Structure 1
Amino acid sequence: MPLLRKISPERLRGAVALAGGALVLAWVPGFAHAKTRGGERFDMAAEPAPVPTACPAGVGEGTTCLSGQDSAGAFYLIAMPKAWHGDLVVHAHGGPFLGAPTAKRVAEDLTRWSIMPRLGYAWAASSYRQGGVAVTAAAEDTERLRRLFIAKVAKPRHVYLHGQSWGASVAAKGAELFADAKPYDGVLLTSGVLGGGTRSYDFRLDLRVVYQSLCHNHPLASEPQYPLNIGLPADSTLKQHELARRVDECLGLDKPAAERTPAQAAKVKTIVDVIHIPERSIQSHLNWATWHFQDIVTQRTGGASPFGNAGAVYAGSDDDAALNAGVARYRADPKAVAMLSADADLSGRILVPVLTVHAIHDPTAMVELQERFGRTMAAAGRGDALVQTYTGDKDHSYLSDPTYAALMEGLSAWVTQGKRPTPASIAAGCEKARATLGSTCRFEPDYQPKALETRVPERDRP
């Protein structure tokens, strides 16, 4: 895949033209009044055209940016590199973030993923119309932006859908929802939360119940008691800094390990050994098991919780029998499970090539989620459409420029030439890209993750 080849005017219907520093937008008809399988309508005639805006720093010399707010309320940002080779990357961001959408969110994403326009790809990302754990709506917002780009900006040769972290589940859901129309030529899923909404978060409930059995302060004994599987009551006023203070009092996470009391050190060790997450991510996962669970229960599943730990057997503590006898137990509500499943579980019916990368030591999205996604794709008869790669990194949000350059080159060759990549060929591509992009390549072509159940105990399910 030549990274900086120019596209001819004949192949660029409705392209962005730069003349005298002014941005001229040409219109491309099509995709008007289309309706998704989920009921969402896309009326491109009703969408305002994007307007020129300043690009964030570091996106590449000569890159021009466009921004806007779509008809559903989502903010979006588009980056057009000066030497556009004609391909578009539509980006689905991670999180999810709670609260109202902001334009700042997509600007931060472009800064992080500036490698895409620097490689010559047009890039477009939506803030989504709402905050919170709403996968299908976010997938629809992402698809609306793809159609808006074509209608208002340019007709790309190929469109690649990129999902990062929770956004990988958004991208996978979108690729399934719109599979029959094949709006995307290929899908890249990085550091993905791909176990499905009804399984990916089981360990966070496990963290809540084990933490509470050790610390007894979330909630405090003096506070109203509530089932931990709802995250927080709808009317709770607890703030993140207040929870962090409680966690520090119990676990001493704000101190170097050598300065913790023996009791604090023992509790941290129990959580790390039983929940199988690194110490550095305990606080963030507790936050998500608090406010994200609250969002799911209060905003998505009608007040009932889709999370349960009945039947789960915890192991790794100094006294597993006492631990299992002492933790709170909950059964997931069947209707809530069905609602979350409809929104956030995956079918694996993706009809275009899918390439993934995941850090083996990812502290946020455990690598075993990839094993579950592989099973999902295979069960849908789409196993041959999936290539999964792994790196020895310990990060989640971003690995390295040559890592993503190699993945995009491999995915492009698969789409345009039918050359299915292998983990070894992607690793070799990374080393090639590193010669010009610098940074690191840590692919481990022979790595295979274990089953998700080896890290997160199975439980009774409705």
Structure 2
Amino acid sequence: MRGDYYWIAVPDRWNGTLVVHAHGGPRTGAPQPDDPLDDLNRFAMTVREGYAWAGSTYRRGGYGVRMAAEDTDTLRQLFWDSFGRPRRTLLHGQSWGGNVAAKAAELYARDAEGKVVWDGVVLTSGVLAGGTRAYGFRADLRAVYQYVCHNHPAPDEPQYPLWQGLPEGSRMTRADLAERVRTCTGVGLPEAQRTPVQKRNLADILAVTGVEEDELVAHLAWGTFLFRDMVQRRLDGLNPFSNIDRVYAGSHDDAALNAGVQRFAADPMGVARLAYDADLSGLIVAPTLTIHGKADPTAFVGNEAVYRDQVAAAGRSELLVQTFTDERSHSALHAPEYVALFQAMSAWLDEGRKPTAASVAALCETAKARYGQACAFDVDFKP
């Protein structure tokens, strides 16, 4: 079933459980009708295993966790209205959609009559540190990159506070940004074609920020185009980021870096507005199961530690189980690992068997023959 901006798939042998998917990003372009098809293809194993699946775009591109959470709950209601209430309804969030799903689980856990809406929550590679803690490293990256490269903005362009992402009226594209990164660091060129200065510039940026080479352009793009959307459209131009007290280390001359880097202080109202939109309370009321690659280069595994501590502070740790794999991947882990998550959640809800990292890993071992992919769980890891 396809709508203007959503896709619903119900298998012939439906097990009675619906998976409502909150997609990642944020996608800064205008929503396209076929966007949910990419998400369905990525998580097609859910339908293959007998789950119904529903996914949508959000009402507009760009940042807005509460907006996306409301749209996700609206999709759930659309399915219920069209097909009847399923036996179980699971909420699934991937990447930034993990933040969206965790927020939706807090805001829409029960309906106006107190009845449960989301039976369980599955969060994969989630940005679970919330808005005020998940994006500061990209503000640091903008500051360090600009100190090293001096080309974003270039000296002959209008200068602006880097936390704005871009100034009003800018027509920069991602390709333009990639070219500037290539000029300064050689990223995109074979290593043999990079100059000594480019190699030193790249080494300094990566060492100080912890960003990996093949993710440098992507993280700078989020710190450019997403920051513009977040600050200008969500925060009324207020700054939610600060590097006033940051001590940068790892470059060939840290003293010069710390003396010369652009500094900026967060506006308290900017922080408050971002926290209201995107931070998480930890007050979960539905069983929640997560998975994260230990070497995730996009949403760092430390997001899980922040979320674990928030849930513990709220006194809800008994409802949270976290699992980790040895993968260096973000957008797609191994298919049988996802299968194991949803099977473990179903058993938790239907039979009261709270999963452990070891029990999820065992389910993966059973499922891997069907998908021809390995299981990479590290059952002893804790961030």
Bin for the TM-score computed over the shorter chain: over 0.9
Residue 68, structure 1, aligned to residue 14, structure 2: no
Give the C-alpha shift of residue 435 in structure 1.
2.0
Uncovered stretches (5+) of structure 2, i.e. residues with no partner = none
Deviations 1:316-348 (A, max 9, x none): 222222211111100011111111110011111
Q: Give the whole-Å Cα distance in 2 for the aligned partners of 1:261 and 1:427.
A: 46
| 1:68 match: secondary structure | coil
Give the C-alpha shift of residue 291 in structure 1.
0.5
Q: Give the whole-Å Cα distance in 2 for the aligned partners of 1:176 and 1:240.
A: 35
The structure 2 residue matched to 1:206, chosen from 130, 140, 148, is 140
Residue of structure 1 in register with 2:204 after alignment: 270
| 2:29 match: secondary structure | coil
Q: Give the whole-Å Cα distance in 2 for the aligned partners of 1:319 and 1:248.
A: 22
User: Aligned ranges for residues 12-411 of structure 1 at < 5 Å?
Assistant: 66-69=1-4, 75-181=5-111, 182-411=116-345
The residue identity in structure 2 corresponding to 1:67 is R
Instruction: From the CA coordinates, give the structure whose radius of gyration is larger.
Output: 1
Q: Give the whole-Å Cα distance in 2 for the aligned partners of 1:226 and 1:94.
A: 29
Give the C-alpha shift of residue 383 in structure 1.
1.3
Residue of structure 1 in register with 2:382 after alignment: 448
Residue of structure 1 in register with 2:349 after alignment: 415
Q: Give the whole-Å Cα distance in 1 for the aligned partners of 2:162 and 2:370.
A: 50
Name the count of aligned residue pairs.
379
Residue of structure 1 in register with 2:359 after alignment: 425
The residue identity in structure 2 corresponding to 1:119 is E
Give the C-alpha shift of residue 206 in structure 1.
0.5
The residue identity in structure 2 corresponding to 1:132 is G
Q: Give the whole-Å Cα distance in 1 for the aligned partners of 2:254 and 2:316.
A: 40
Q: Give the whole-Å Cα distance in 1 for the aligned partners of 2:198 and 2:58.
A: 40
Residue identity (%): 52
Q: Give the whole-Å Cα distance in 2 for the aligned partners of 1:236 and 1:402.
A: 44
Q: Give the whole-Å Cα distance in 2 for the aligned partners of 1:251 and 1:188.
A: 39
**Contact residue 243 and residue 263 of structure 2 kept, 8 A:** yes
Q: Give the whole-Å Cα distance in 2 for the aligned partners of 1:224 and 1:114.
A: 47
Q: Structure 1 residue runs of 4+, over 3 Å off?
A: none
Deviations 1:97-140 (A, max 9, x none): 11321111111111111111011100001101111111001101
**Contact residue 289 and residue 322 of structure 2 kept, 8 A:** yes
| 1:348 match: secondary structure | coil
The residue identity in structure 1 corresponding to 2:192 is A
Structure with greater helix share of residues: 2
Q: Give the whole-Å Cα distance in 2 for the aligned partners of 1:231 and 1:277.
A: 18
Give the C-alpha shift of residue 351 in structure 1.
0.2
Q: Give the whole-Å Cα distance in 2 for the aligned partners of 1:258 and 1:440.
A: 35
The residue identity in structure 2 corresponding to 1:165 is S
Deviations 1:136-159 (A, max 9, x none): 011011101111101112321001
**Contact residue 148 and residue 205 of structure 2 kept, 8 A:** no
Greater RCO, CA 8 A, separation 6+: 2
Uncovered stretches (5+) of structure 1, i.e. residues with no partner = 1-65, 70-74, 450-462
Q: Give the whole-Å Cα distance in 2 for the aligned partners of 1:443 and 1:86.
A: 28
Q: Higher mean Cα deviation, 106-115 or 88-97? A: 106-115
Deviations 1:410-452 (A, max 9, x none): 1111111111111111111111111222212111011111xxx
The residue identity in structure 2 corresponding to 1:410 is A
Q: Give the whole-Å Cα distance in 1 for the aligned partners of 2:368 and 2:295.
A: 22
Q: Give the whole-Å Cα distance in 1 for the aligned partners of 2:157 and 2:80.
A: 53
Q: Give the whole-Å Cα distance in 1 for the aligned partners of 2:104 and 2:214.
A: 32
Deviations 1:199-238 (A, max 9, x none): 1000000100100010000000000000001101121111
Taking structure 2 as the reference length, the TM-score comes to: 0.97
Give the C-alpha shift of residue 258 in structure 1.
3.4
Q: Give the whole-Å Cα distance in 1 for the aligned partners of 2:281 and 2:304.
A: 14
Q: Give the whole-Å Cα distance in 1 for the aligned partners of 2:6 and 2:63.
A: 19
Q: Give the whole-Å Cα distance in 2 for the aligned partners of 1:229 and 1:160.
A: 36
**Contact residue 179 and residue 349 of structure 1 kept, 8 A:** no
Give the C-alpha shift of residue 163 in structure 1.
0.1
Q: Give the whole-Å Cα distance in 1 for the aligned partners of 2:192 and 2:286.
A: 51
Let me know the Cα RMSD of the aligned residues. Answer: 1.0
Give the C-alpha shift of residue 256 in structure 1.
2.4
| 1:204 match: secondary structure | helix
Q: Give the whole-Å Cα distance in 2 for the aligned partners of 1:186 and 1:382.
A: 14
Give the C-alpha shift of residue 379 in structure 1.
1.2
